[in-house]
Structure 1
Amino acid sequence: MLDVRRLLLLRDLGRLGTIAAVAQARAYTPSAVSQQLSVLEREAGVPLLGRSGRRVALTAAAVTLVRHAEEVLAALERADAALAAAQAGLSGTLRIGAFPSAARTLLPAALVALARDHPGLDLELTELDPVDVPDAVRDRRLDLALVHDYDVVPAEPDPALAAQPLLDETVHLAVPTDGPPDADPDPPDPVAGFREAGWIAGTPGTLCHAVTLHACRAAGYAPRIRHHADDFGTVLALVAAGQGVALVPQLAAGRPPDGVRLVPLALRRRTALTYRRGGADHPAVAAGIAAVRRSTADLGFPVLG
């Protein structure tokens, strides 16, 4: 019988590429990870690991085993959901993750509703960048999370996770109102008109940084980034102060400060609710999804799905 915990280590290795990275993610020593993978290899009866330079590569048999491991883990999630559904009332902890603009706008009303309707449920909210969400949900640090991508920078699907679409937003170009007006009052690509401007972008490595680079490169230039800021309130304050221009999605641009003009773009930001495969029917996760969808609709946004 294959051990599920060792299957998790094999899955992590396929995703992270090195024994050291798996050890760091799981708070093990590298030797402990190697030992457990060796045991799994003996249990499987076929070679699972090979070398590719300094990295450890999965064999074809290991890739097949990881694919089956995802199905096993999803079945365990469904079993956990069935047990939770058999209990009277919701209890335990629901760990929710969200990116800052959603945590500030969509989550407060949802948390109030959950606390009112399910007083036995302990709620935990964590604010984090969408690039960090898959690992947090996969590793059970979160049960439900709001994650976004952009139509021009789509996220790769994760076989361990499932998702429900929630929201599709317009992305705006935020520019100072006292800056030079565009030569064309309705340009086909407003980003192209700010080739010489300083830009305000997210921290390198974040999705917001990546979409700024993509939008400017699509307009034919590399942006001159003057400031890095991950909070859109800070971004809009910097734009109002004449420090540059920035991309701001609709959810974060509700009430821009004086001195900011918002130019709608063709870019779209897409938000989804994500959770572990097999977990959609868990009563706490289902309650969280319903509460977030209601709060989104109450704010006047068209809810997808």
Structure 2
Amino acid sequence: MFELRRLRLLHELALRGTIADVATALSYSPSTVSQQLTQLEREAGVPLLEPDGRRVRLTAHGRLLAAHAARALALDEAARAELTSSQQLDTPVRVAVMPTAAEALVPTALTLLAERAPSVRLEMVELAPEAGLFELQARAFDLVVAEQYPGHTRALREGIDRTLLGRDPVRLALPAGSTAAGLDDLRDVAWAMEPHGAAVRQWAVQQCRAAGFEPDVRFEATDLIAHVRLVEAGHAAAMLPDLVWSDGRPSVRLLDLPGSPVREIFAATRASSRDDPALAAVLAAMADALAALQPH
């Protein structure tokens, strides 16, 4: 009989690639991870790992068992959710949210939860969508609030459900004194964008290229409030979602982008946790928080 804890280590290794990364993610020492995987190998009776330079990689048997491990972990989670579906438990729901959701959605969602499901304990970490969605699959979080932009659909992951929370227009943000009439007039200005690797960065650069120029990106920040401050001070242009202004009137000049694009804001959860009542309460609160912030 395989021990679920060891199967999770193998699952994590398949996702993260190195024993050191598995140890860091699960707060173990690398030697403990190695010892447990060696024990799992004994239980399996076949080689699960093989040397790859200074690291190890999964053998064909290792990949096969890792796939079974993912299913075993999903079944365990589904069973726990079903057993607790009729109970009110003070169980934490671990949530990773993008920065605009942390600032605009989570406070309202917490207020709603306090009224509807006071026994739910929400624990939040602000994280870029790319990292949050990966960690959701690795079971570090129970729910992730993320976004995707037109023409840039995020990769679909096996065993992950998505729920559309709402749509959020994205507009050009310019200093108050700017006389630009649209994107075509901004080929010679400095830009504030998110760092390389972020889906929104790729999308924003494509908007500029479609307008016939390569943007001069001088400022990179994941925090969109930093973008706002740079635009307010007259040092940059940016492409910002309306959710940034959820706490009041825009402090910069806003213009529509070509095609009036909108980003989709969605929540991602593991399919195996569909019956978890605490998670369902958090999901509903997030959706209602976004609806309350948008014009009707």
TM-score band, normalised by shorter chain:
0.7 to 0.9
The 8 Å contact of residues 41 and 47 in structure 1, kept in 2 or not, is answered as yes
What is the one-letter code of the residue matched to 1:116?
E
Q: CA 1:12–1:216 in 2, change beyond 3 Å: closer, same or farther?
A: farther
- Stretch moving more, 71-80 or 205-214: 205-214
The offset of 1:214, in angstroms, is 4.3
| Contact residue 146 and residue 272 of structure 1 kept, 8 A | yes
What does the per-residue CA deviation read over 1:127-161, in whole Å, with 9 as the maximum and x for residues that have no partner? 22222313543455433221223234332233353
Deviation at 1:29, TM superposition (A): 2.7
- CA-to-aligned-CA distance 1:173-211 (integer Å, 9 cap, x gap): 2223423424xx6xxxx3x54232211012445444444
Using a 3 Å threshold, how does the CA distance of structure 1 residues 196 and 32 change in structure 2: closer, same or farther?
same
1:178–1:259: 8 Å Cα contact kept in structure 2?
Answer: no
- The separation in 2 between residues aligned to 1:224 and 1:285, in whole angstroms, is 43
Provide the residue aligned with 1:10 in structure 2: 10
Q: Trace 1:128-277 onto structure 2 (pairs within 5 A).
A: 128-138=127-137, 140-159=139-158, 161-182=160-181, 190=183, 193-217=185-209, 219=211, 221-253=213-245, 255=248, 257-266=250-259, 267-277=261-271
> Closer, same or farther in 2 for the Cα pair 1:273/1:51, shift >3 Å?
same
Percent of residue pairs identical: 36
Question: Match for 2:66: what amino acid?
Answer: V
Q: Does 1:125 align with 2:117?
A: no
Q: How many residues align?
A: 294
- CA deviations on 1:271-294 (whole Å, 9 max, x unpaired) are 211223311210100111122222
Q: CA deviation at 1:256?
A: 5.3
User: How far apart in 2 are the matches of 1:162 and 1:299?
Assistant: 24
The answer on whether the counterparts of 1:170 and 1:264 sit within 8 Å (CA) in structure 2 is: no
Unpaired runs of 5+ in structure 2? Answer: none
1:285 aligns with 2:284: no
Measured after TM superposition, the shift of residue 265 of structure 1 is 4.1
Q: Summarize the Cα distance change of 1:283–1:301 in structure 2 as closer, same or farther, 3 Å threshold.
A: farther
Once the two structures are superposed, residues 106-134 of structure 1 have per-residue CA deviations (whole angstroms, 9 ceiling, x without a partner) of 23222112111222233333322222313
Q: 1:282 to 1:153 in 2, by over 3 A?
A: same
TM-aligned CA distance change 1:54 to 1:245, over 3 Å = farther
Partners of 2:295 and 2:45 in 1: CA distance: 54
Q: 1:160 to 1:50 in 2, by over 3 A?
A: farther
Whole-angstrom distance in 2 between the partners of 1:201 and 1:278: 36
Cα distance change of structure 1 residues 286 and 225 upon mapping to structure 2, 3 Å threshold:
same
1:95–1:124 CA contact under 8 A, matched in 2:
yes
> CA separation of 1:290/1:195 partners in 2, compared to 1, >3 Å: closer, same or farther?
same
Cα deviation, 1:219-247, whole Å, max 9, x if unaligned, reads 55543222223332331232132211111
Unaligned ranges ≥5, structure 1 = none
